[in-house]
Amino acid sequence: MPSASQNETEPSVPPPNTISLKVNGRDVSVSKTFQDPVSKCPIPTTMIQACSVAGIEVPHYCYHPKLSVAGNCRMCLVEFGTPAMGPDRKPILNPDGSFRITKSPRPAIACATPVSPGMEIYTDTPGVKQMRESVLEFLLINHPLDCPICDQAGECKLQEYSVEFGQANSRFVEKKVHKPKQVDLGPRIMLDDERCILCTRCIRFSRDLAGDDALGIVNRGSYNTLSNFPGKPFDNNYTLNTADICPVGALTSKDFRFQMRVWFLKETKSLCTSCGTGCNILIGSREDKVFRYVPRENDDVNSCWMCDEGRLNYKWIGRGDRLDSVVVRRKNKKIETTGWSSVLTEISQHLTSAPKGSVSIIASARQTNEEFLLLAALAKQCEALTDTIPRTGPGDNFLVSPDQNPNTMGARLTGFAKGIPGENLQAIAEGVRIGKIKTLIVFGEDVTEHGIDADAVAKLDALIVSDILPNATTKLADFLLPGCAHAEKRGTFTNVKGRVQKFMKAVEPPGDARPEWEFLHDLLSKLSGKTDCSTIESLFNQLAENVPSMKGLTWASLGDSGVTVSIEPD
Amino acid sequence: MIVKRKALSFWERLYLPALLSGLKVTIGHFFRKSVTMQYPEEKWVVPEGYRGAPYLVKDQEDRTKCVSCQLCEFVCPPKAIMITPPGPASAPETGNVEKAPLEFEINMLRCIFCGYCQEVCPEEAIFLMKDYSLTGTSRAEMIYDKEKLLALGGVHQDSIQKWKRKQDEAEIQGVGAHPVVNHGSTDK
């Protein structure tokens, strides 16, 4: 949306790059052009954007602020007028000095009509009301009207606008045209052609943004049908975004389809943890079960989109084999399930007695900034060698980052792993093997895959492990501390570009599992005797004080969309 | 305050006349029509419009009418209804029925027989029937599952028969609506 430069005090001298006009009699000024979301070139500002600046929502289906304009649904029809021009090509003025307006005899679609100076837009006239009603009547002619079965019900624009602008009864007595249902478009998308209103949002998204021109409309007239090319599945890594932008229930996610009605879902602002991009998401959960991720708009990070891989990477959160109790494995192989306070006391006694330099910490770059701050403090206390484990993938040039850890930057900025991720791993593995390192603390990684196998672990005095899911390392752990998934705690991540963003808690952790920052804080206060920063807010504020590039940030000032900090090495 | 006791008349002090008039009423009842029912062998037939236990119904072709839209679950004031909607792998053998509940539970201990579920149901799939004496020996037994609710609900003579009508219309128009049209997806 172009930012409106407010200029209401002196309307006679507008800045050269803005246009003043009236929407329903209200003066607004908008910039002449805005950046096209696809080509990134400046294009003229349209009436729908001017209305939005004026705080008036014009109903629309095919228009989407992040897509190219198609202008096919006709839902955004508005009436307008322009200043009348005299023979000298100068505006004719009324006696009071205002422009004399000639009302256009025809309406125009607000999404594709550029604004002009002095224009007046009317969105609440009887004519506009009648047009909206008629457009909706046409859209509903062949629509099956099966909201009870439709997965979109509750977040369907057709439903919403029908209630707001439609007419109560259908005058259509003929047989509806039937189209293919439950069409298998690709591995993740299911299409119901009867519900499709042919807005072509999905086609434009796939072609312009995902770079996979896979969809198109076939057949003519009322038999218009959305389809993919025969034999070519719709299977790029961004297909599920089309289910998001589909204003009706035509495109649905196979994963979420019929799982839960959307009005039961609690939406929690969170972040995707599948790569270093840190796409903003909403977690939809009900009764401590995560049902879906949907992207949350943040123009500085992910716009309105997220990749399918990240979106579907949530099922492990509620898995049955989650670690949910504190386990201590004694030297005589006896396994005890114990409580948090006794295990933390035992660990702190062990760490106090451990000689300086004999402790090492390997933490996953999936831990939060706050946890890295505490881990760095722990490392300083024990003079420990620290590192994270790098995880890289191919990445792409849209959203997916080659760094598949969500918080590599956080580990660097907090000083936990200052250098290249993984540079100390060799030294730690070697230290364990020769017996120099006697205590190994592992957070969220399987170190047996990184040069520290069971034989090496046997040489340790203590292996302290915190993790979420069982793996080879958790099986060997002397102290096993069950941690939380990001959906079960609060915290912040720093993405690859240095954007510090916070995420909220959506569901309760299983059993005795506790957020890592909580028990790390307890452990540190046992070690050092200090008990400050017992909340995530104060912990973040302390983090901001300690990290030079985050100076001045507070938990509250991060907002929902985060703040970009400098990632230049200091 | 002291209420002064009324002095009894001679007739009242005789005692027997009052006893006899009472016995007259008692004996009179011997000759009236009996109003007592031999419950539970004999059961009271409730009047039309009585709101008893809510049960699920099937249509004439043995289709579960419920499409698990979860509106009853949403509207239920005591939260007695719990529906598990089908997963993505909902059975393809059910013809053109797109959606049906995987599980449908009503906790009859919670149910307040308000009838909102029947009122809100867009598919006419749940009705408050005339059952008023629901008994069980445990709390778990009082949570009625889908099978039990359908068995108790029986068949509803459905005049609309939505799924059949949809199927017929689609067949006339030559749209092979079902089974799933595959446009060449390789990954299933």
What confidence score (pLDDT) does residue A3 get? 43
In which residue are the tokens 């059993």 written? A511
Q: Is residue A11 part of a domain?
A: no
What mean pLDDT do residues A207-225 have? 91
B74 backbone dihedrals φ, ψ, rounded to 5°: -70, -40
Q: Which of A284, A318, A352 is the last residue of a domain?
A: A318
Mean pLDDT of chain A: 91
What confidence score (pLDDT) does residue B34 get? 85
Interface contact flag, A178 B122, Cβ < 8 Å:
no
For residues A344 and A473, membership in a common domain is answered with yes
CA distance B87 to A283: 19
Instruction: Report the residue of B75, B105, B185, B187 to disrupt the A interface, i.e. the one with the largest count of A CBs within 10 Å.
Output: B185
What is the percent of chain A with per-residue pLDDT over 70, rounded to a whole number? 97
What confidence score (pLDDT) does residue A511 get? 93
Q: What is the number of residues in chain B? A: 188
What confidence score (pLDDT) does residue A90 get? 87
What is the percent of chain A with per-residue pLDDT over 90, rounded to a whole number? 76
For residues A359 and A451, membership in a common domain is answered with yes
Interface contact flag, B87 A259, Cβ < 8 Å:
yes
In which residue are the tokens 């929902």 written? A560
Chain A residues within an 8 Å CB radius of B74: 261, 263-264
Interface contact flag, A178 B67, Cβ < 8 Å:
no
Q: Is the N-terminal amide bond of B179 cis, ω within 30° of 0?
A: yes
Query: For residue A4, is pLDDT > 80?
Result: no
What confidence score (pLDDT) does residue B179 get? 43
For residues A270 and A353, membership in a common domain is answered with no
For residues A396 and A545, membership in a common domain is answered with yes
For residues A352 and A466, membership in a common domain is answered with yes
For residues A93 and A23, membership in a common domain is answered with yes
CA distance A558 to A565: 11
Interface contact flag, A180 B87, Cβ < 8 Å:
no
In which residue are the tokens 């932008």 written? A245
Q: Is residue A213 part of a domain?
A: yes
Chain A, nearest residue to B163 by Cα: A146
Quick check: B186 contacting A, CB < 8 Å? yes
For residues A461 and A479, membership in a common domain is answered with yes
pLDDT band at A532 (very low <50, low <70, confident <90, very high): confident
Tell me the mean pLDDT per 10 residues along chain B, length 188: 90 90 94 88 89 93 89 96 78 74 94 95 93 92 95 88 84 64 40
The structural domains of chain B, ordered by start, are 54-158 (3.30.70.3270)
- Interface residues of A toward B, Cβ cutoff 8 Å, are 144, 146-149, 153, 175-187, 190, 227-228, 230-235, 254-255, 257-261, 263-264
For residues A313 and A455, membership in a common domain is answered with no
CA distance B153 to B148: 8
Buried b (16+ CB within 10 A) or exposed e, A348-384: bebbeebeeebbbbbbbbbbbbbbbbbbbbbbebbeb
Its ipTM equals: 0.82
Q: Is residue A425 part of a domain?
A: yes
Query: Which pair of structure tokens corresponds to residue A424?
Result: 């100390």
What mean pLDDT do residues A351-370 have? 92
Report how many domains make up chain A. 3
pTM for this prediction: 0.87
What confidence score (pLDDT) does residue A13 get? 57
For residues A96 and A229, membership in a common domain is answered with no
Q: Which of A293, A318, A343 is the last residue of a domain?
A: A318
Query: For residue A7, is pLDDT > 50?
Result: no
For residues A91 and A213, membership in a common domain is answered with no
Q: Is residue A9 part of a domain?
A: no
Interface contact flag, B99 A230, Cβ < 8 Å:
no
CB nearest to B98's CB, from A149, A153, A261: A149
pLDDT in tens, A518-529: 999 999 999 887
In which residue are the tokens 């799982």 written? A259
Q: Is residue A520 part of a domain?
A: yes
Chain A, nearest residue to B172 by Cα: A178
What confidence score (pLDDT) does residue A175 get? 87
Domain range for A261: 146-157+174-318
What mean pLDDT do residues A418-447 have? 91
Max mean pLDDT among A52-61, A330-339, A454-463 falls in: A52-61
Quick check: B167 contacting A, CB < 8 Å? no
For residues A310 and A333, membership in a common domain is answered with no
